[in-house]
Amino acid sequence: MDAQSTFVHPTALVETGATLGANVRIGPFCHVGSEVTLGDDVALMSHVSVTGPTVLGAGCTVHPHAVLGGAPQNTAYKGEPTKLVIGRNVTIREGVTMHRGTGNARGETVVGDDCMFLAYSHVAHDCVIGQRVTFANNVMIGGHVTIGDHVIVGGGGAIHQFCTIGNNAFIGGLTGVAHDVIPYGLAMGSRAYLSGLNLVGLKRSGMDRADITAIRHAYRDLFADNGRSVRENAEGLVDAYAGIEPVQQMARFVLDGAKRHLTTPLSGADARRAENHAG
Please report, for the domain that includes residue 112, its CATH number: 2.160.10.10
| Structural domain harbouring 231 | 203-276
Total domains in the chain come to 2
Torsion (CA) 12, 61, 119, 110 in degrees, nearest 10: -100
* One domain, residues 132 and 237: no
**Domain termination site, one of 105, 125, 144:** 144
* Closest alpha carbon to 142 in 155, 125, 157: 125
- Domain presence at residue 175: no
Q: Are 138 and 155 in contact (CB under 8 A)?
A: yes
> Choosing from 63, 99, 122, 125, which is the catalytic residue?
125
Rg (CA), the chain: 21
143 counts as catalytic: yes
Q: Which of 41, 113, 114, 126 is catalytic?
A: 126
Residues 6+ apart with CB under 8 A from 158: 139, 140, 141, 175, 176, 177
- In tens digits, the chain (279 residues) has pLDDT values of 555 599 999 999 999 999 999 999 999 999 999 999 999 999 999 999 999 999 999 999 999 999 999 999 999 999 999 999 999 999 999 999 999 999 999 999 999 999 999 999 999 999 999 999 999 999 999 999 999 999 999 999 999 999 999 999 999 999 999 999 999 999 999 999 999 999 999 999 999 999 999 999 999 999 999 999 999 999 999 999 999 999 999 999 999 976 789 999 998 656 555 555 554
Is there a domain that residue 34 lies in?
Answer: yes
Q: Please indicate whether residue 125 is annotated as part of the active site.
A: yes
Q: Which of 52, 59, 143, 166 is catalytic?
A: 143
Pair 140, 208 in one domain: no
Do 45 and 123 lie in one domain? The reply is yes
Residues 207 and 138 in one domain: no
Asked if residue 160 is part of any domain, the answer here is no
Q: Note if 65 is an active site residue.
A: no
Reported residue count of the chain is 279
